A and B are shown apart, each in its own frame.
Chain A
Amino acid sequence: AQKITQTQPGMFVQEKEAVTLDCTYDTSDQSYGLFWYKQPSSGEMIFLIYQGSYDEQNATEGRYSLNFQKARKSANLVISASQLGDSAMYFCAMREPRSNDYKLSFGAGTTVTVRA
């Protein structure tokens, strides 16, 4: 069964606007971690933001924020004030330390294209 679902294969956003990338996950664990990574066209994987299952506040890192809805099992990434350099593929990932030996499971990714 798919643990991480990203339903948007590709999105376009106007420069300076905000964009929300959807991520839903499936787990029976109470303790887990959710991560977002960025992969620009150069290919490297860049860590963006982390949200723990017990964190009461939504995570924020600069222009990145997480809309974490635990009951709905969703962890959507919000990029505010989009820049041309934000054009990349974005992956949502989950780690379940108890049941999965710390394995990191990834979604299929969402490609974001920022238009000038």
Chain B
Amino acid sequence: ETGVTQTPRHLVMGMTNKKSLKCEQHLGHNAMYWYKQSAKKPLELMFVYNFKEQTENNSVPSRFSPECPNSSHLFLHLHTLQPEDSALYLCASSQSTLAGGVYEQYFGPGTRLTVT
């Protein structure tokens, strides 16, 4: 148990559906992250939020839309996905400051997404 939970754990959706992934952290962290892990590819960073502000978008297509309403919650809204978007989507959180530093990230168990 890492203190980061993700729901749902498994999701099957059609290409015309709209769904959302939810991440919640109980660690008092200020930074949250979305990563994507496709089969046979390294884990890829998608988005970074620091103190509720998006600080990084790693050239992610607009069919993925993140939302961070507060420091404890992070959502990934999905719409009109493609089959190649099927992957494990991982959320992470970390301590952060506005002055720099290096802090370990705590990952959730991931949501296994299948797009049909």
A and B associate: no
Binding site for A on B (CB under 8 A): none
